[in-house]
Structure 1
Amino acid sequence: QIPPDGLTKWIRDNNLDLVIFNEEYDWNLVMAAKATGIKIATYLDYYKEDWKPYMSLYDTVLCSTKRTFHLVKDFCKAYYIGWGIDTGLFKPLISNERKYTFFHNAGWLGINYRKMTPAVILAFDAISQYNPGITLFIHAQTELERLPPEIITLVHNNSRITYHVETVPAPGLYHKGSILVFPSKLEGLGLPLLEGMACGLPAIATDAPPMNEFVKDGYNGILVKVANRLTRHDNIAFPEEIVDVADLTFKMDYLIKNPELVCKMQKNARNSIYNFNIFGKKVNEIISPSFELPVDSDNTLRNRECLTYCK
Structure 2
Amino acid sequence: KKNNQWDKENVTWGKKSKKYYYGATSIDRPDFIGWLKNKQIEVVLFNEQNWWEPVVWCKEMGIITGTYVDYYTEKTVPFFAAYDFLICNTQRHYNLFKEIAHAYYVPWGTDIDLFRPQSKKDVEASSIVFFHSAGMNPIRKGTDSTIRAFAAIDDPNSRLLIHTQERLSAYLDDEVCRIAERHPRISVVQKTVPAPGLYTEGDVYVYPSILDGLGLTVVEALACGLPCIVSDNAPMNEFVQPDVNGRLVAIDYLYARSDGYFWPQCKISLSSLEEELQFYLLHRSSIESEKVKARQSAEEQYNWKDRYKQICTLFKEVKHEPIDEVLSRRIYSYEQHLNGKYNMLPYAFYYWKKWRSGWTR
Counterpart of 2:65 in 1: which secondary structure? strand
Q: TM-score, normalised by structure 1?
A: 0.88
Distance 1:96 1:265, change over 3 A: closer
Pairs within 5 Å for 1:136-155:
136-146=160-170, 147-155=172-180
How far did residue 109 of structure 1 move? 2.9
Q: 1:290 aligns with which of 305, 318, 331?
A: 318
Residue 140 of structure 2 corresponds to residue 114 of structure 1: yes
Q: 1:2 & 1:289 partners in 2: Cα distance?
A: 28
- Larger mean CA deviation between 281-290 and 76-85 belongs to 281-290
Q: 1:155 & 1:69 partners in 2: Cα distance?
A: 38
Q: 2:279 & 2:234 partners in 1: Cα distance?
A: 23
- Larger mean CA deviation between 98-107 and 24-33 belongs to 98-107
For 1:265, the equivalent position in structure 2 comes to 290
Residue 43 of structure 2 corresponds to residue 18 of structure 1: yes
How far did residue 248 of structure 1 move? 0.3
Distance 1:93 1:133, change over 3 A: same
Distance 1:91 1:276, change over 3 A: same
How far did residue 80 of structure 1 move? 0.6
Q: 2:318 & 2:127 partners in 1: Cα distance?
A: 47
Q: 2:108 & 2:77 partners in 1: Cα distance?
A: 23
Runs of 4+ in 1 over 6 A off after TM superposition: 95-99
Q: 1:258 & 1:100 partners in 2: Cα distance?
A: 11
Q: 2:162 & 2:156 partners in 1: Cα distance?
A: 18
Q: 1:51 & 1:7 partners in 2: Cα distance?
A: 23
Q: 1:70 & 1:178 partners in 2: Cα distance?
A: 33
Q: Which amino acid aligns with 2:151?
A: D
Counterpart of 1:272 in 2: which secondary structure? helix
Counterpart of 1:175 in 2: which secondary structure? helix
Any unmatched runs of 5+ in structure 2? 1-25, 321-361
How far did residue 26 of structure 1 move? 1.5
Instruction: Report if the CA contact (8 A) 1:100-1:137 is conserved.
Output: no
Counterpart of 1:50 in 2: which secondary structure? coil
Instruction: Report if the CA contact (8 A) 1:205-1:211 is conserved.
Output: yes
Instruction: Report if the CA contact (8 A) 1:55-1:76 is conserved.
Output: no
Q: 1:281 aligns with which of 293, 301, 309?
A: 309
For 1:104, the equivalent position in structure 2 comes to 132
Q: TM-score, normalised by structure 2?
A: 0.76
How far did residue 76 of structure 1 move? 3.7
Instruction: Report if the CA contact (8 A) 2:229-2:246 is conserved.
Output: yes
Q: 1:27 & 1:253 partners in 2: Cα distance?
A: 47
Residue 159 of structure 2 corresponds to residue 135 of structure 1: yes
String of CA shifts for 1:241-286, please: whole Å, max 9, x gaps. 1210000000110111111211111111111122111111122232
String of CA shifts for 1:28-60, please: whole Å, max 9, x gaps. 100001111121111112222221232111100
Q: 1:185 & 1:192 partners in 2: Cα distance?
A: 14
How far did residue 19 of structure 1 move? 0.5
Residue 258 of structure 2 corresponds to residue 230 of structure 1: no
Pairs within 5 Å for 1:114-263:
114-127=140-153, 129=154, 131-146=155-170, 147-263=172-288
Q: Which amino acid aligns with 1:201?
A: L
Q: 2:56 aligns with which of 22, 31, 56?
A: 31
How far did residue 185 of structure 1 move? 0.4
Distance 1:76 1:245, change over 3 A: same
Q: Which amino acid aligns with 2:270?
A: V
Pairs within 5 Å for 1:51-90:
51-90=76-115
Counterpart of 1:67 in 2: which secondary structure? helix
For 1:307, the equivalent position in structure 2 comes to none
Q: 2:52 & 2:314 partners in 1: Cα distance?
A: 24
Identical aligned residues as a percent: 35
For 2:332, the equivalent position in structure 1 comes to none
Q: 1:166 & 1:144 partners in 2: Cα distance?
A: 12
Q: Which amino acid aligns with 2:159?
A: T
How far did residue 9 of structure 1 move? 1.3
String of CA shifts for 1:149-190, please: whole Å, max 9, x gaps. 111221233110001101011111111100000110000111
Any unmatched runs of 5+ in structure 1? 293-311
Instruction: Report if the CA contact (8 A) 1:207-1:224 is conserved.
Output: yes
Larger Rg: 2
Q: 1:42 & 1:144 partners in 2: Cα distance?
A: 33
Q: Which amino acid aligns with 2:276?
A: K
